[in-house]
Amino acid sequence: MGRQGIGDLKEKPNNKAFWKAFRVASSYAIFGFSWIWGSDWLLYALTENRDIFAVFSVYKGFLFIIITSIALFLLLFWELKRAVEVDFQLQSIVESLKEPVAFSSKDTILWANRSFAELFGYSSEEICLKTWGELIDKNEQACSSMFFNALEKGEEVTESLHFAGVKKSGERLQLKAGLNRLEMDGKPGLRIQVRDISELDRAMNVLNRKSRTLQLIYSIHHLILFQKEKVSCFREVCRKLVEIGAYSMAWYGEPDSRGKIKHLCSFGDKTGYLDGIIVTVDDSPTGHGPVGTTYKTRELTCIPDIESDSNMGPWQLAAKKAGYRAIAGVPVFHQNEITGVLAVYSTQNDTFNLDEIGFLQELSRCLSHFLDQFKI
Can you give the pLDDT of all 376 residues of the chain as single tens digits? 333 333 443 445 567 677 777 877 888 788 888 888 887 788 777 777 777 777 777 888 888 888 888 888 887 788 777 767 656 655 565 556 678 888 887 778 888 888 888 899 998 888 888 888 888 888 777 767 776 777 667 666 556 778 888 899 988 888 888 887 776 656 677 778 888 888 887 788 778 877 887 888 888 888 887 888 889 999 999 999 999 888 999 999 999 999 999 999 999 999 999 998 999 999 999 999 999 999 999 999 999 999 999 999 999 999 999 999 999 999 999 989 999 999 999 998 878 888 889 889 989 998 998 888 765 5
Q: Tell how strand 161-166 and strand 172-184 pair up.
A: antiparallel
The strand ranges marked E within 244-318 are: 249-255, 261-267, 301-303
Q: Give the model's pLDDT for residue 9.
A: 37
Say what the pLDDT of residue 90 is. 56
Going across the sheet that includes 101-105, the strands are: 108-112, 101-105, 187-196, 172-184, 161-166
Cα-trace Rg, the chain: 38
pLDDT of residue 74: 83
Q: Given 3-state DSSP classes, what are the helix, strand and coil percentages for the chain, each rounded to the nearest 5?
A: 55, 20, 25
Query: Whole-structure pTM over 0.75, yes or no?
Result: no
Count H helices and E strands in the chain, helices first: 11, 10
Q: Are 188 and 201 in contact (CB under 8 A)?
A: no
